[in-house]
Amino acid sequence: MRKEHRPNGKKRLAEMKESVKVLRFGSVVPISGSDFIREVSQAPSDVWVVVILYKEGIAECGVLMQCIDELATRYPATKFVKIISTDCIPNYPDQNLPTLLVYNNGAVKGNYVGLRSFGRRCTPEGVALVLCQSDPVLNDGQNRNEQSREAVIEGVRRKFIEKVVADHEDRDDDGSSSD
């Protein structure tokens, strides 16, 4: 009877190790120029990396950083890093900030310059929707299959719609409707 439980114990241990491996990020990690290759370009091929180029004191960078902080918590299997723009790209123009770069398998898969890339008002839901337009960038770490990716993308769409509806209802509650 003891031997019957051993294989299940090994299987459970393997599942737990896999779960820990998948849920390995969960926050925005500051990096320097010398960390970039190791942290971004050489990330494992199954890991999507979202890089925010920013500078302190630029309001738009703060707005996008708040969105990215929330997404990093919500999608712990996606790696989020931040780097001061000129530490990454010397002489990078401040008017291009903030900039989001999306990497996978050592290559740039997306490049979003400025807040206008994320719609009229920059929200975590709007940023998530843009990031998932062409590739399954965001990963909640629940599963590693296609069904899980589709569930994440559907959840992103649902949250975006809920946010738009809630914002619209809030405006109506303020007495700004034209009835």
HSE, side-chain direction, 13 A CA sphere, residue 41: 7
Q: What is the pTM of this model?
A: 0.73
Report whether pLDDT(42) > 70: yes
What token pair was written down for 61? 């960078």
The pLDDT value recorded for residue 137 is 79
Q: C-alpha 73: how far from its chain's center?
A: 9
Distance CA 117, CA 130 (A): 8
Report whether pLDDT(157) > 80: no
Superfamily of domain 24-173: Glutaredoxin (3.40.30.10)
Percentage of the chain with pLDDT > 90?
A: 48
Question: How far lies 51's CA from each of 20, 98, 124, 140, 177, in Å?
Answer: 23, 10, 15, 18, 40
Among residues 112, 119, 121, the alpha carbon closest in space to that of 63 is found at: 121
The pLDDT value recorded for residue 173 is 63
Q: Does the CA dihedral 84-90-93-98 come out positive or negative?
A: negative
Report whether pLDDT(125) > 60: yes
Distance CA 14, CA 159 (A): 33
Residue 94: band (very low, low, confident or very high) from pLDDT cuts 50, 70, 90: very high
Contact indicator for 138, 155 with CB cutoff of 8 Å:
no
Mean pLDDT of 4-20: 58
Report whether pLDDT(129) > 90: no
HSE, side-chain direction, 13 A CA sphere, residue 123: 15
Distance CA 107, CA 86 (A): 20
> What's the length of the chain?
179
Among residues 116, 120, 131, 129, the alpha carbon closest in space to that of 167 is found at: 120
Chain position carrying tokens 């737990």: 16
Distance CA 145, CA 82 (A): 28
